[in-house]
Each structure stands twice: as C-alpha cells, then as structure tokens.
Structure 1
Amino acid sequence: MSLHSALLSRIGIKTREPIHFKDLGDILRAFSRTVPFENFRILNKTSGRLDQASLVSKLVSGQEGGVCYELNSLLYYFFIESGMNAAIVPGTVYHHGNGAWSLSGTHAAVIAEADEGAYLLDGGFGINVAQTPIPMSGETVQTDTGQFRVANKPTAEGTHLLEMKLAHEEAGVWKTGYAFNAEKSLRLSDLHSMQQKIQEHPGSPFNKDPLAAKRTATGFITLTKDSFTVTSGTKSEKQAISETEFVEIAEREFGLKTGPFL
C-alpha cells in the first residue's frame, strides 16, 4: 500500500487521487484528531529513524503519535508523493510562560507551493495546529482552533513568524507561536540532529515528563503524568489522575502504550 493510501486510511479519509490543494484542510484536520502529539518513545529511549519507511511503521502501521519532526516529516513525504513541491523548514517555538524562545531550532514545519501560492503547513504543533494551510502572503486564516497568519518579521530565530489568536484563550490577542526559516530546507541528517537535541539536551521540554495531546471536534484533550484535561471551546475540565489511570487513558483516548518510562 502506498503512503498516500495508508495515511488517508489511518486518519479515516477515503482515498482521493489525485490530492488537490483544496483537500489539504480536510487532511490536516483529520490528522490532528487522529495522530496524537506525544513523546513516549523519547522517554523510553526507543526513538527510531525519520526516513519514510520508519515513520510509516511508527505513525501509520503502529498507530502511534510523535513530535513535530516526526509528524511533519510524515506529512512532507505524503505531500511529495502526492506531487507537491514541499520542504521541511526549521523553527523555534516561543515560550510565553518564560517570555523567551525555547530550545533553538527544534521545531520542524513544512512549506508547500501550489498554484495558489506558498503555504505553511504544520501537523506537529501540539494542540495549536491551524488544521489548514496558512498563506505565506500574510493573509489570516480561521479554523475552530483560532486565527493564524504568517508575518514577515525576521528575528535571530528565523525569517518569519507564525502568529495566532487561539480560540480557547479568551484574550483574543495575536501572539507568536514560533519563528521559522523559510529559506532553509532541512535534510534527513538535520532532522536526526534535531531529534538528538530534543532527546538529550537539558533544555528540551520533551525529555522529562510524558505528554499526549490531540484535537477533537469541539476542542482538544491533553494528558500529562498527573492530569487529564478535556477542553471544549473556552471551557476546560481537568482531573487529577493516578499512574494506573494514566496508562488507561493513554490507551483509551490516544491508542498509546506507555512502555517502561512510568
């Protein structure tokens, strides 16, 4: 089975050939509600390679999730197989709690070109995925996640910014999601270096505690080692959980086996 057919089957979409630009919103939305953002293999020290075959084995056949360089690399391979001109580009997430950039160069996103222009596509930004292509032209797009736009504002971390107004935040102000470098295309060796940095660097946000998250039809769900949160619109219900409940929720809500890290 081709990646095209296998991925669409994984996310519950009937095979479409060829894939058109207008299909990408449906695909990104279904991807965000099916393939979780999670770091279990990082904690278990069992991360695999990032080539197409390895990612299909983990994310499609194995029904697991992953972090940005896994999720967006799989989408990149899918876009390329579908005949699109695409590249994986590096970025740095802005940490609003700290008021500073997170670990430099550890986010991966995709830029794809269509007849309509160039677009930022991201299926690996946790619960903050736009679920639709975002025009590089700066035009604002709106989905049930919120409003998103690309700003041509060079910083030390990249050539552009992803800016967003998130639907679950009542303030409704534009804020920076991440900076990215639209002029640099990442190779497989670069992605493996990013993976190693996320796995080993003391400043990495993903090598300490477990996290799983995915979008839903009305919001999103988030699982940490101590809590399970269900968010619908601007309302969230957070419950404290035990280790046993963590294992049960990981499998029931995300389809994930935890492994030995607990």
Structure 2
Amino acid sequence: MNLNAYLARIGVRGPVKPDIDGLRRVHRAHALSLTYENLDVQLGAPSDRSAANAFDKIVNRRRGGWCYEMNGLLGWALDEIGFRVTRLAGAVMREKSGDDVIGNHLVLLVEIDDARFICDVGFGSGPIDPFAMREGPISIGAFNYRLSDLGSGWWRFTEDERMGAMSYDFNRAVDDEAMLERQCRFLQTDPSSPFMQNAVLQRWAEDTHYSMRGRVLRILSPRGENKSLIETADEYARAVRDVFGVECPDAQKLWPAIMRRHLEIFESASAF
C-alpha cells in the first residue's frame, strides 16, 4: 500500500497537510474520482474489510467499492497523512430497523484541533465534502442534507430528498469493529440483503449524480432528472465502464440476474 499511488488514483498532486483544507481536498477528490459499487457482492466474490483489500481493488485494479471499502481506504489514507481518524459503526435506516442494523455502514470521524468532521465517501449519494459534526442543514453545491442530534450520543444524517431521503445514525462511542464485521458478512451473504438483491453503481461529477440500480440509469442534476433503461448485457457492461469508470470484465455475467430482479420489482421488462 502506497499513499502516493492512492493520491495519484484520485488526482491529488503535491503534499497534503493534515488540516481542514487538506481534508476537503482529499475527500472531494476521492468522491469525484471513484465509484460506489457492489458488483463483487453480486458476482459472489465477497471481500474482507481490510484497507489492503480496498487498496488493491480500487487503486491497483481500478474498481470502485462499497462503504467498507471506500471509507476504509479513505480512512487509511487520512491516517497516513496525519489526521486523527475514528472508524464508527454506522446504522443505515436505524430510524426504521432499530439497533439490529448497527454496523451496516462505516462512518469516519476526523478531529482537527477541537473541531469534528464526518467524512463519508461510501454512502453513494452522500456529500462530496466532509461536514462539521454540528446539528442543522448541510448545503453542498445544489444538494441539501441534514445532521440531527438525537440525544444519548446518537446523530442522524439524512440525505437530500431527491436521492430518497435515506438516513444513517452514528455515535462517537460506537466504534465496535466486531459489529462492522458481522454486518459486512451478513450484507454479502444473506439472501435478504439489499446488496445481494440489487446491483448498484453511483458516482458524482461535480453537481451531477449518476446512479444505476439494476437496469435503471438515473442522472440527477440541478437541471432536473433523466432516467433511462439499459436494454442489453453489452450496453450494461459499457455503462459500467464508460459512465461509471469501473473496470469489471465480468459485468456482463450479471445481466440474467439483473433482468430477473427487474421483473420482480416492475412486473414488466419495459417498466421503470
């Protein structure tokens, strides 16, 4: 693992200082250069949560990753630069599912002097910049988020409603790696896991968010929303490579499962 190779992968040149400007620089570059994706889970190739695995996959093999990989790699890099980083066991949609989901998301807490920042390049549709751990609205570009203090040490991040208003909770005192490990294993192997059921890719390009869930390609920007349907395995593989910048030679193999899942959800091959 080499910090300079990671920085080159995300297009950052020159030295990076462990200050707020350096944090924003690395976080934004990562968010704009790398794609959130769960194709390995779909291909039946579960991965571990190690930074070494994430580095090989994302830097060496020019893939993307999901939260454990994307935030795991960013957390390693920030630590190498000299930031004070804490890995927290987040809980996506805890507001509906309760404490059983703690650990289904990796969140990074970075402390600079007396200031605390949340860094998250692994939520897919999350902010491209780090944000202060302070209750209130968060506006980054044309997108609006919110951080709420729930009490008892718990905080809730809620994404822009145009993204679906998904949320995750986190607590500075909940940094249990065993929880993260259990949830990581469950999400990659249990048939009820949404990561097992749906192939997902997401990436940012400044103020535009691209997502592909199964066959549905969605582009969201301040100018509006555009949705289209992927029609063939070849077209799907091209979108993975050309739209999302992911080098996945086996992407075409996912097509039969993607078609089956589409019919389960929409009951028609042409509906979306």
Could you state the TM-score of these two structures normalised by the residue count of structure 2? Answer: 0.82
Tell me which moved more, 139-148 or 210-219: 139-148
| Residue identity opposite 1:227 in structure 2 | V
**What is the CA–CA distance in structure 1 between the aligned matches of 2:109 and 2:59, rounded to whole Å?**
22
Is 1:194 aligned to residue 183 of structure 2? yes
Secondary structure class of the residue paired with 1:153 = strand
More helix by share: 2
Q: Could you tell me which amino acid in structure 2 is paired with residue 199 of structure 1? A: Q
2:40 equivalent in structure 1 = 41
Query: Which residues in structure 2 correspond to 1:165-244 (within 5 Å)?
Result: 165=160, 168=162, 177-187=167-177, 189-233=178-222, 235-242=224-231, 243-244=233-234
Map of 1:84 onto structure 2: 83
Q: Which residue of 1 aligns with 2:155?
A: 160
Aligned residues: 249
Q: Which runs of 5+ in 2 are unaligned?
A: 256-272
Which secondary structure state, in structure 1, belongs to the residue aligned with residue 101 of structure 2? coil
Q: Distance in 2 between matches of 1:176 and 1:226?
A: 21
Q: State the partner residue of 1:2.
A: 2
CA deviation profile, 1:234-254 (whole Å, cap 9, x unmatched): 511111112221111111112
Aligned counterparts of 1:133 and 1:159: Cα–Cα separation in 2: 18
Greater mean alpha carbon deviation, residues 137-146 or residues 194-203 = 137-146
Once the two structures are TM-superposed, the CA of residue 69 in structure 1 deviates from its matched residue by 1.2
Instruction: Check 1:142–1:39 CA distance in 2 against 1; reply closer, same or farther (3 A cut).
Output: same
Aligned to 2:143: 146
Secondary structure of residue in 1 paired with 2:173:
coil
The 2-side partners of 1:258 and 1:222 are apart by 19
Q: Residues 50-89 of structure 1 correspond to what in structure 2 (within 5 A)? A: 50-89=49-88
Aligned partners of 2:142 and 2:64: how far apart in 1? 20
Measured in 2, the distance between the counterparts of 1:176 and 1:185 equals: 22
Q: Is the 8 A contact 1:92 1:101 kept in 2?
A: no
Separation (CA, whole Å) in 1 of partners of 2:166 and 2:123: 13
The CA deviation string for residues 38-80 of structure 1, in whole angstroms up to 9 with x for no partner, is 1100011213222222111011111111111111111111111
Cα gap change, 1:20 to 1:2, in 2 (>3 Å): farther
Report deviation, 1:112: 1.0
RMSD (Å), alpha carbons: 2.5
2:254 is matched with 261
TM-score (norm 1): 0.84
- Report the CA distance between 1:220 and its aligned residue: 0.9
